[in-house]
Amino acid sequence: MPRYWGIRTDQQRGDELWAEVQSGRLRQGWGYRDEQDLELIAHLKAMGRPLNDHQRATWRGNRRLLSHEPGEVRPGDIVVAPNLPRWGVWALLRVTGSYRYEISDILNAVTIDGEEGLPDYGHVLPVQLLTPLPIERTDARVTDRLLRAMRPPMFSLDHVASDVGRLLPR
């Protein structure tokens, strides 16, 4: 049985990240340095090695993208991606493979260590786009319960799985 997730991505790069989703890649930020690969961080943690600030921030927000972590995202799971490709709409995706790390050419929209516009979005989940036309959050099928659940950056939607199911194409 699939799990259901909400995963937010950078609203300021909606067009670029939407093109990635249409090509089968859901990309997440906090992946702008080689040392931010979640597999590398998991290995360092398993060996008891210290993490730097970038690695700690990356791990905190993205560790569940690894299929071997507790509470993980797995192939077959359903993702609701709010505000993708633009604010106020949602894309529904099915995870089709395991996490990989590959820094993209898409530049981020923040200043990090005094640098603006770094190549980012290295955390990749292979996905299948289930809704070629985004779902408006005002769509009659979107329940209040589902709207309330869509607040944190990454979160389980298992408790509203039936509400997400109503949005899936038949």
Separation between Cα atoms, residue 45 and residue 43, nearest integer Å: 5
pLDDT at residue 28, rounded to an integer: 92
Q: Do 167 and 142 touch, CB atoms closer than 8 A?
A: yes
State which residues of the chain have pLDDT below 50: none
**Domains in the chain with CATH codes:** 4-160 (3.10.590)
pLDDT at residue 150, rounded to an integer: 82
pLDDT at residue 43, rounded to an integer: 97
pLDDT at residue 12, rounded to an integer: 86
pLDDT at residue 167, rounded to an integer: 92
| Cβ atoms within 10 Å of 51's Cβ, excluding its own | 15
pTM of the model: 0.86
- For the chain, report the end-to-end CA distance as a whole number of angstroms: 17
For the chain, the C-alpha Rg in angstroms (whole number) is 16
pLDDT at residue 107, rounded to an integer: 87
pLDDT at residue 42, rounded to an integer: 97
Burial class of 132 by CB neighbour count within 10 A (0 to 12, 13 to 18, 19+): exposed
Three-state DSSP class for residue 111? strand
pLDDT digits (tens, 9 = 90+) for 30-65: 899 999 999 999 999 999 999 999 999 999 889 999
